[in-house]
Structure 1
Amino acid sequence: MVDLSFWLLFFSAALALNLSPGPDLLYVLSRTLSGGRRLGLVSTLGVCTGALVHVAAAALGLSAILATSAAAFAVVKYVGAAYLIYIGFQALRSTGGVRIEARAPVSAWRAFRQGVLVDVLNPKAAIFFMAFLPQFVRPDHGAVALQLFILGVLVVLVAIIVECTLVLLATRASQALRSHQAVGRWLDRVMGSLLVGLGVRLGLSERL
């Protein structure tokens, strides 16, 4: 029998968590504003693929290493912070606006690859899955590892729905703005600054 209260609580929590601002969501929105709907959707696929890596790690117990090892957490944290700052500085250097054609546009493959790395190199994402998913594991519903994996995949599916919806909304809101070079440059500066800020914040953060 389906436990409606259980699933209502689970999906409500997953929705709230996926709507919370973080490196993944900000990266997706920055790619959408700078490159349009296609890059936004590809970036969503990238960060969600990275999230699946954390889901698999949580199911196998590997995320526990980050939760218990200060050295492992520090290494992943600083690499992830440096990568976010690097992407942010790239946005800050952007010429902005769709009328400038001398600068090669970001390819879909590059946006996807960066999306994967943004998520994989975020140690708090790994610890999040390790801390969040076990709360919904039920002893009478089979192997714990399988339950963790299924629940994790469901969280990622919610993320895909949320982020794709936001990409479509951001695309519609920014289409008119991106046709003006000055406004496009301003959007790049804002998103770049936010990414750099997130990188600095991640670098200074403590373990959960």
Structure 2
Amino acid sequence: MPQPLWHIFMQGFVVNALNPKTALFFFAFLPQFVDPARGAVPLQFLLLGLVFIGLATLSDGAYALLSSTLGGWLRGKTQELRFARGQRLVTGGVYIGLGVTAALTGHKHQ
């Protein structure tokens, strides 16, 4: 059973809010743009964080819209099934080739 969109959105929000990489980014990257001589440091952090969130929302939204458009376009194509079959064969061939190469290539001890 598909989940409601708001539920999926909230799951994504919680995952991003609790992501330690996000906190590390803010602690490592943003301090170089904060100048105590220009006002309250927490307010500067808040403003920079809001700018980051706005830019991330715009870029991620653009990716989502582009993906949705391309997905709809691909679903409408009759050649999609042939493409998917060919893609599976090529991908499988690449994996088999990599596996054979890894098996035959090795460090020779002397």
What is the SS of the residue equivalent to 1:113? helix
User: Which one of the candidate residues 52, 71, 74 is aligned to 1:177?
Assistant: 74
Note the 1:86-125 alignment, pairs <5 A.
104-125=1-22
Alpha-carbon offset, residue 138 of structure 1: 1.4
Gap runs ≥5 in structure 2: 85-110
Counterpart CA distance in 2 for 1:173 and 1:116 is 25
Aligned counterpart, 1:167? 64
- Cα deviation, 1:115-168, whole Å, max 9, x if unaligned, reads 112212311111111111111001221010110010010011000110111111
Aligned counterpart, 2:87? none
The structure having more radius of gyration, on CA atoms, is 2
Note the 1:122-133 alignment, pairs <5 A.
122-133=19-30
Counterpart CA distance in 2 for 1:114 and 1:159 is 17
Structure 1 pair 114–178 and aligned structure 2 pair: CA distance change class (3 A): farther
Q: Percent identity?
A: 41
Gap runs ≥5 in structure 1: 1-103, 187-208
Q: State the Cα RMSD in Å.
A: 2.1
Counterpart CA distance in 1 for 2:23 and 2:13 is 13
Give me the TM-score of the superposition, normalised by structure 1. 0.35
User: Which one of the candidate residues 28, 37, 41 is aligned to 1:144?
Assistant: 41
